[in-house]
Every structure is written in C-alpha cells, then in structure tokens.
C-alpha cells in the first residue's frame, strides 16, 4: 500500500510537536493503540529529526511523516530520519522539487486557486488545505476546490472531533490533520492514555464515516 492509500484508509493524521525524544516512541504507540498508526512529526522543535528517527526504528507499523518542512535541508533530514512522507504549511517549490527528485511523497499546503495550480503544475494531486478553519472551513474549501476535480485535500488547522466528520464527508477530502489528539503539553507530561483515548475517538469517527459513505 502506498502512502496515499494508507492515508485514505486512516483518514486522520495526528500533527505532533515534540521536543522530548524519550516521549517519541510512547507517543507513537499510544496513537497506534488508539487505532491511528500514523504521525506527522513537525519540524517545530530542535528534536524533531531525533523523534522521527526513534519512531522509524521502534515502530515500523506506524506511518511516519515529517511536517512543517520549510526548506530542502529539513526535507533531507526527514528523509534521512526515516519519514515516509513530507508535509509543508505552504507551497515551496524547492521543497517539492527535493522530494520529487528523491522519491518521497510530498503534501504541500495550499489555500488559494493560484497555489493549487502551482502544485498541480508539479504533478501533485494531494494537497494540505491550511489553515482550514481560519480560511473559512468547509464552505471555503468547497468553493475554492470546485474547479479542480483531480485534486484531493487534507484539511488541517482548527480541526477537532467537533468538525472532523463534516470535513470527512466532503468528496475531495482524503483525510484530516490536527494536533487535538496529542497536544504538546500532553506529550510533555506523558499523558499517553489520554492521547490513546483521543486517537480512538478520532479513529471511531473516521471508521463510522467510511461505513456510512461506503
Ligand atoms: C499544522 O501544523 O498542520 C497545524 O498547526 C495543525 O493545526 P491545529 O493545531 O489547529 O490542529
């Protein structure tokens, strides 16, 4: 199964800010125990690459992505650390080109028609819609994506269990991302049961939605 198929099956991507390497493996296991064996580790801390490396080594069943990748150096660190895909908040052609050349799936962030078209020009058809809620949520995504029938989105930014199902019910939404399942303070404080339970709630919504639409 490739990364896109795996994300389509999981439908929810926990977005992680982690600064304590010793928390990385318990965090990944908590998500997997909750039914979401996937994590996007963001380059928002100095220890992101180390967290990626540890999870890649210890949790091969977890689909591992790197997030907040802002330049080709970070993309290279993500690749070296064992990330299977790269996510970025915006469309940076240098990041996209690095990933394309090195064969690592990349999901750049977009929120305007111009950005969607820039990504399509690079042959990308799965894009992060960011920041989803601040840009106008489902109504905006529906309007901005209408002309682009060959593009799917991963809305991220302001998504919680309260609005997850609405996004997942949109035809062109492959999955949703968000930090609500594992906020940095829960990770810092070692609240892994809480993370597992929140992941389980999200996984249940994803499963219920798949069952309804399928
Ligand atoms: C991201 O990096 O994708 C977003 O900051 C996550 O947004 P959220 O914290 O609102 O879920």
Q: Which domain holds residue 199?
A: 3-207
Q: How far apart are CA 143 and CA 203, in angstroms?
A: 27
Residues of the chain above pLDDT 70, percent: 98
- The pLDDT tens digits of the residues spanning 45-78 come to 999 999 999 999 999 999 999 999 999 999 999 9
How much is the pLDDT for 213? Answer: 45
Report if residue 38 sits inside a domain: yes
CATH assignment of the domain containing 151: 3.20.20.70
- Does residue 213 form part of some domain? no
Q: Is the predicted pLDDT of residue 212 greater than 90, yes or no?
A: no
- 22 domain-assigned: yes
The confidence score (pLDDT) of residue 108 equals: 98
Sign of the CA dihedral 16, 21, 23, 25?
Answer: positive
Is residue 202 included in any domain, yes or no? Answer: yes
User: Does residue 212 form part of some domain?
Assistant: no
Over residues 161-168, mean pLDDT: 97
Q: How many domains does the chain divide into?
A: 1
Residue 40 appears among annotated catalytic residues: yes
Question: Does the pLDDT of residue 1 top 90, yes or no?
Answer: no
Do the domain assignments include residue 129?
A: yes
Q: Is residue 214 part of a domain?
A: no
Q: What is the rounded average pLDDT for all residues in the chain?
A: 96
Å from CA of 156 to ligand 1 middle: 6
Across the range 127-143, mean pLDDT stands at 98
- 120: CA distance to ligand 1 center in Å? 23
* Band of residue 92 on the pLDDT scale cut at 50, 70, 90: very high
Q: Where are the alpha helices (DSSP H) in 60-124?
A: 72-81, 93-101, 113-121
Ligand 1: residue of 40, 128, 130, 202 to mutate (most ligand atoms within 8 A of CB) is 130
Q: Is the pLDDT of residue 84 over 80?
A: yes
The rounded distance, in Å, linking the Cα atoms of 104 and 214 is: 30
pTM of the model: 0.96
């Amino acid at each position: 199964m490739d990364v896109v198929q795996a994300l389509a099956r999981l439908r929810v991507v926990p977005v992680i800010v982690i600064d304590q390497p010793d928390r990385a493996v318990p965090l990944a296991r908590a998500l997997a125990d909750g039914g979401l064996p996937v994590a996007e580790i963001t380059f928002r801390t100095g220890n992101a690459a180390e967290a990626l490396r540890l999870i890649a080594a210890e949790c091969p069943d977890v689909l591992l992505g790197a997030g907040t990748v802002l330049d080709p150096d970070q993309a290279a660190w993500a690749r070296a650390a064992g990330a299977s895909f790269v996510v970025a908040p915006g469309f940076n052609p240098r990041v996209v080109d690095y990933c394309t050349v090195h064969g690592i799936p990349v999901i750049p962030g977009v929120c305007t028609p111009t950005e969607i078209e820039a990504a399509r020009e690079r042959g990308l058809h799965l894009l992060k819609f960011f920041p989803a809620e601040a840009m106008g949520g489902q109504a905006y995504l529906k309007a901005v994506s209408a002309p682009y029938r060959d593009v799917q989105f991963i809305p991220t930014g302001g998504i919680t269990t309260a609005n997850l199902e609405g996004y997942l019910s949109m035809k062109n939404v492959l999955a949703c991302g968000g930090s609500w399942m594992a906020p940095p303070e829960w990770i810092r404080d070692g609240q892994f049961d809480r993370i597992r339970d929140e992941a389980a709630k999200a996984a249940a919504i994803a499963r219920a939605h798949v069952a309804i639409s399928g």
